[in-house]
Structure 1
Amino acid sequence: MFFVTGDVHGDIKDFTGRKYGRIKKNDHIIVCGDFGLIWTGGKDELRSLKKLGKSKHDILFIDGAHENFDLLYKYPVTMWNGGKVHVISGNLIHLMRGQVYTIDGKKIFTFGGGESTDSDMRIPNRSWWKEELPSEEEMKEGISNLVENDWKVDYIITHEAPTSFRRYLEGKDYDLNSLNVYLECIRQKCKYKKWIFGNYHKNFRISAQIETVFDNVIKLE
């Protein structure tokens, strides 16, 4: 069972207090970006990460726009269930961009990243990082991995939304970024059972296949 939730923004109490229900040892929590618990590198933060890593079940997260990428990218890259990850501590694992994992017989495509709407008010490499938007290499790797899987996966987990989903949520008066357009290309090509994304601080089902999640928990078999 997968328990999918949205942006945590570094608040471990908010994260652990969400209504997951009964989680078994072989289940998995997935956070759709803006995890934010790797931010200062301080002792309290490291204790929180270690505590989460001791969970009996996996806690998996993709990155969003609001992450300290300098700290996140210091963790060594390793392979896990068919895709690249950063193992943060024990069962706490960062699912990297453009990967396809096979977990409990389900294929899951992940793509983190986003764009800070308030970047002009943030401080580079202290509260904002250019790595929030994906590189060309990351986008190419994502396409390559989908090609290897014949453009068929069970679940897609992203922080940002494809262009069409964003238009549905916000209307036409917004500025697209390269990630929206990239994800829209994937939406038109890839076959999937469910696509869940965070970022918009809403719990809303767009269709049977598509949901955006914030502080709710979506269960996937």
Structure 2
Amino acid sequence: MLDAYPIEIWNGGKIRRINNSVIHLMRGQVYEIEGKKFFTFGGADSHGKEYRKEGKTWWSREMPSSTEYEEGLINLDQHNWKVDYVVTHTCSSGTLALIADQLGIKYPLDPMHSYFQQISERLQYKKCFFGHFHRDIEFPKDQRLLYSDMVKLI
């Protein structure tokens, strides 16, 4: 459904405006908000697809296209690989291994985890926030798994 909304530029990155108070921050974009730079990249692979119905409980667009992956790298290049905050839905392969060790949650690696690993090895940032695993936990390299906690940034 998001693809039905037109793309606009907002604070330096692409968005889809859902209404006056809701905007979709698109994958691989860098936004400047109140003097801080945010790199965003949503999406994650659903697990248990054999028990789900495509188009109802999982969607093929959950995972990024090759164009979205590439656009994220291009945008980071344009910002000299420096942002203040990273906001994603899932995490890097290195953090996924920590989640398996510390929480006993085992998820298969996918291209998105590898992509975020590549980025984490090069990107300079203050804090990285991700969700997907429904816990509130601090991880090394200034990474924070968020579920119900609220964090004031600005």
Q: CA deviation at 1:122?
A: 1.5
SS in 2 for 1:169: helix
Residues 44-63 of structure 1 mapped to structure 2, 5 A cutoff: none
Q: CA deviation at 1:183?
A: 0.4
Identify the residue that residue 43 of structure 2 maps to in structure 1. Answer: 113
* Amino acid paired to 2:64: P
Identify the residue that residue 190 of structure 1 maps to in structure 2. Answer: 123
Identify the residue that residue 81 of structure 2 maps to in structure 1. Answer: 151
Once residues 21 and 140 of structure 2 are traced to their aligned partners in structure 1, the CA distance between those partners, rounded to angstroms, is 32
SS in 2 for 1:102: strand
Indicate which of 85, 88, 101 corresponds to 2:18: 88
Once residues 128 and 74 of structure 1 are traced to their aligned partners in structure 2, the CA distance between those partners, rounded to angstroms, is 18
Q: CA deviation at 1:108?
A: 0.4
Structure 1 residues 174 and 124, CA gap change in structure 2 (3 angstroms): closer
Identify the residue that residue 75 of structure 1 maps to in structure 2. Answer: 5
The TM-score, its normalising length taken from structure 1, stands at: 0.66
Once residues 107 and 56 of structure 2 are traced to their aligned partners in structure 1, the CA distance between those partners, rounded to angstroms, is 26
Percent identical pairs in the alignment equals 38
Once residues 208 and 160 of structure 1 are traced to their aligned partners in structure 2, the CA distance between those partners, rounded to angstroms, is 15
Residues 30-45 of structure 1 mapped to structure 2, 5 A cutoff: none
Once residues 91 and 174 of structure 1 are traced to their aligned partners in structure 2, the CA distance between those partners, rounded to angstroms, is 34
Q: CA deviation at 1:207?
A: 3.7
* Amino acid paired to 2:72: G
Aligned-pair Cα RMSD in Å: 1.4
Once residues 212 and 110 of structure 1 are traced to their aligned partners in structure 2, the CA distance between those partners, rounded to angstroms, is 15
Q: CA deviation at 1:85?
A: 0.5
Residues 10-49 of structure 1 mapped to structure 2, 5 A cutoff: none
Identify the residue that residue 90 of structure 2 maps to in structure 1. Answer: 160
Once residues 123 and 108 of structure 2 are traced to their aligned partners in structure 1, the CA distance between those partners, rounded to angstroms, is 24
Once residues 141 and 208 of structure 1 are traced to their aligned partners in structure 2, the CA distance between those partners, rounded to angstroms, is 24
The TM-score, its normalising length taken from structure 2, stands at: 0.93
Identify the residue that residue 129 of structure 1 maps to in structure 2. Answer: 59
Q: CA deviation at 1:208?
A: 6.8
Once residues 197 and 215 of structure 1 are traced to their aligned partners in structure 2, the CA distance between those partners, rounded to angstroms, is 12
Q: What is the total number of aligned residue pairs between the two structures? A: 151
Unaligned runs of 5+ in 2: none
SS in 2 for 1:219: coil
Indicate which of 208, 212, 218 corresponds to 2:145: 212
Unaligned runs of 5+ in 1: 1-70
SS in 1 for 2:82: coil
Indicate which of 163, 170, 179 corresponds to 2:100: 170
